[in-house]
A and B are shown apart, each in its own frame.
Chain A
Amino acid sequence: MATDTTEWNVKDTLGKTLEGLEAAKKPSADGLEGDKLVLNMGPSHPSTHGVLRILLELDGEVITKAMPDVGYLHRGDEKIAENMTYNQFVPYTDRLDYLAPLANNVAYALAVEKLMGIDKALPERCQYIRVICCELARISAHLLGLGAFAMDVGAMTVFLHTFTEREKIYNLCESLTGARFTTSYTRIGGLARDLPEGWVDQCRQFLKEVEKNFDETETLLTRNRIFVDRTQGVGVLPREIAINYGITGPNLRGSGVDHDLRKSNPYLIYDQLDFEVPVGSQGDSYDRYLVRMEEMRQSARLIRQCLDRLPGGPVSIQDGKTFLPPKDKVLSSMEELIHQFMLVTQGVNVPSGEVYFGAENPKGELGFYIHSTGGGTPHRMKIRAPSFVNLSVLPYLLKGEMMSDTVAILGSIDFVMGESDR
């Protein structure tokens, strides 16, 4: 892909501009000249974090062109969505960013509820629990992202440390939703079920332990000479380029742009909660690591606030036309039986119109563009996947870098192929 770097006013770090490359290409003293090598970093590779194929054109150690090839995990989710009712599609959203399934569930439910116009009518308890789910998913995704990043760069212990904590999150998810991984927790108009007994205390206990783990991870990585050498100055993404490439999430914040959808376009009850948004300064891989590290601490802070303020009440809208009525009423009363029948067979009756809703997911802005012509199934659902857009900047980021830095850059971008390919 042609990316002309001369039109951007970019600081020349480590001589990565075209002039530097031209100088490197000058014929050497003994008259040896080489050809460029096209290296295929294939879809099956331990460091590509899923099925991503990158074609690297190398001039010695330096990458002159990088072309990512996505689509190996394309499952046709958007086509499937046109044939399913809105509630039937929730399990598919689990499998988008499969490291943070609760966050995808919440983002999808909010998009459909915005289309129906009931997003402001959600009960308080539902909104608090959804925020807790989103932030738990954020901690889980960042733990894995940082663990995999560190492991690729060489620090293998960190991976095992972060996975111990992820096991605890999986246990929380299992007692909450019934599944460790593919949660499918939200429904249109509310949640599948309320918090089980003792879950709040388990969550508090988890937060105490995970904050100790954050400190341990930081002692292992933040001042680690090797880690810093491998990540500082590597994969610098300047501000304007990041915005122009549509990068969102920790990658954008690492480049110095103070943009977080939870603050700028707040949804659920984020405007009532107290948290900070970490922003990097250099735009290199080290900054992206620091941003994710701090985001995890802020997520823990958010969860604590929500647990302290958790109100009572129902967890879903009590409208029989939107949410399944309680089973005992269904089996005894005619009206609820009809509602149950209509909701299960035809789906929720959504008004015609179109809506776009973007949520701040751990990987970036997960957006759903839903175009509905009425009825229970969408006419078109487009999933704006943050990983798909974040990967598009790879040709720019990898050009001029050393081949061995590819792994550090891929790890710092932290993408998920399930989301990118849908």
Chain B
Amino acid sequence: MTQPNPKTARSLAEALQKACGDLVSEIVEFRGECSLTILDKSKVHEVCQVARDTLHFDMLTDVSSVDHYGDDPRFEVVYELYGMEHHAYLRLKVRVEEESCELPSVTSLWRTADWHEREIYDMMGIRFSGHPDLRRILMWEGYPYFPLRKDFPLEGKPTDLPETAFTDRAPLEGGPFVTTAGKQNVSQREPRAKAFEPED
């Protein structure tokens, strides 16, 4: 099984490093992929522009967000770039601290960033300045929380949508969606189950 040619990926990452100087960190190579950390988060647009225009990374494959709960800066946004000509991937990472929680948007460079950044705002709460239409995409308008943050529990938090949707906490017993028999009866364990009267 071959990887995207590591020599091309490495040389492109080095070219980006040379072009951007102190804006990016050292290259980290792992499993044949190269990642660079953008050290100044206000220069994200600049670095991405260099990558797109000079190094021909014309497709933004993915934008993800990671929550390093307990670290400072807390969040990290990861851009996965791909070039159609040279078939190489490049990863650009940038750290975002919790107080400002903001990053410049790259929608003007790649239109696909539009929906990806909306999803990051929806799930993690990171705002993107310069985004044409930053609003929630997967959750409904007006949902108060940011679900993918580490301090948001897996079973969810109750919200105000009583008649329309099931927005209470999901029942968890000792694991994700697993209930342990023997301690309570079904109607207590699973509030959505039909009411069951045990014969004592």
B positions within 8 Å CB-CB of A = 1-4, 30-31, 33, 35, 58-62, 64-67, 78, 80, 84, 87, 89, 91, 110-112, 114-116, 119, 123, 132-133, 136-140, 147-148, 152, 154, 176
Number of interface residues of A (CB under 8 A): 52
A351-390 interface code vs B (CB 8 A; 1 in, 0 out): 0011110100000010101010000000110101000110
Candidates B31, B112, B137, B176; contact of A246 at CB < 8 Å: B112
Q: A1 and B132: CB pair below 8 A? A: yes
Q: A243 and B114: CB pair below 8 A? A: no
Candidates B66, B152, B176; contact of A80 at CB < 8 Å: B176
Residues of B within 8 A of A120 (CB): 1
Residues of A within 8 A of B64 (CB): 369, 380, 382, 384
Q: With A244-B58, A246-B112, A358-B61 as known contacts, state yes or no: A70 contacts B138, CB within 8 Å.
A: yes
A-B contact pairs, 10 of them (CB 8 A): A2-B133, A80-B154, A244-B111, A265-B4, A265-B87, A353-B31, A356-B33, A371-B66, A379-B66, A382-B62
Give the residue name and chain of the B residue nearest to A80 (CB). Answer: B176
A330 close to chain B: CB less than 8 A: no
Residues of B within 8 A of A391 (CB): 115
Q: B133 and A71: CB pair below 8 A? A: no
A194 close to chain B: CB less than 8 A: no
Give the residue name and chain of the B residue nearest to A242 (CB). Answer: B59
A221 close to chain B: CB less than 8 A: no
Q: A380 and B112: CB pair below 8 A? A: no
Residues of A within 8 A of B87 (CB): 264-265
A18 close to chain B: CB less than 8 A: no
Give the residue name and chain of the A residue nearest to B120 (CB). Answer: A382
Candidates A71, A245, A269, A356; contact of B111 at CB < 8 Å: A245
Q: B30 and A353: CB pair below 8 A? A: yes
Q: With A353-B31, A367-B80 as known contacts, state yes or no: A79 contacts B147, CB within 8 Å.
A: yes
Considering the chains assembled together, what is the distance between the CA atoms of A120 and B119 in angstroms?
A: 34
A263-279 interface code vs B (CB 8 A; 1 in, 0 out): 01111110100000000
Near B by CB (< 8 A), chain A positions 50-78 give: 70-71, 74, 76, 78
Candidates B67, B137, B140, B176; contact of A84 at CB < 8 Å: B176
Separation in Å of the B49 CB from the closest CB of chain A? 14
Separation in Å of the A43 CB from the closest CB of chain B? 12
Residues of A within 8 A of B136 (CB): 71
A17 close to chain B: CB less than 8 A: no
Considering the chains assembled together, what is the distance between the CA atoms of A84 and B112 in angstroms?
A: 30
Near B by CB (< 8 A), chain A positions 389-420 give: 389, 391-392, 396
Separation in Å of the A235 CB from the closest CB of chain B? 17
Considering the chains assembled together, what is the distance between the CA atoms of A372 and B129 in angstroms?
A: 29
Q: B62 and A369: CB pair below 8 A? A: yes
Considering the chains assembled together, what is the distance between the CA atoms of A266 and B64 in angstroms?
A: 24
Considering the chains assembled together, what is the distance between the CA atoms of A122 and B1 in angstroms?
A: 9
Q: With A2-B133, A79-B154, A117-B31 as known contacts, state yes or no: A265 contacts B60, CB within 8 Å.
A: no
Near B by CB (< 8 A), chain A positions 237-294 give: 241, 243-246, 257, 259, 264-269, 271
Q: A355 and B33: CB pair below 8 A? A: yes
Q: B114 and A392: CB pair below 8 A? A: yes
Considering the chains assembled together, what is the distance between the CA atoms of A70 and B137 in angstroms?
A: 6
Separation in Å of the A56 CB from the closest CB of chain B? 17
A326-363 interface code vs B (CB 8 A; 1 in, 0 out): 00000000000000000000000000011110100000
Residues of A within 8 A of B132 (CB): 1-2
Separation in Å of the A82 CB from the closest CB of chain B? 8
Q: A71 and B140: CB pair below 8 A? A: yes
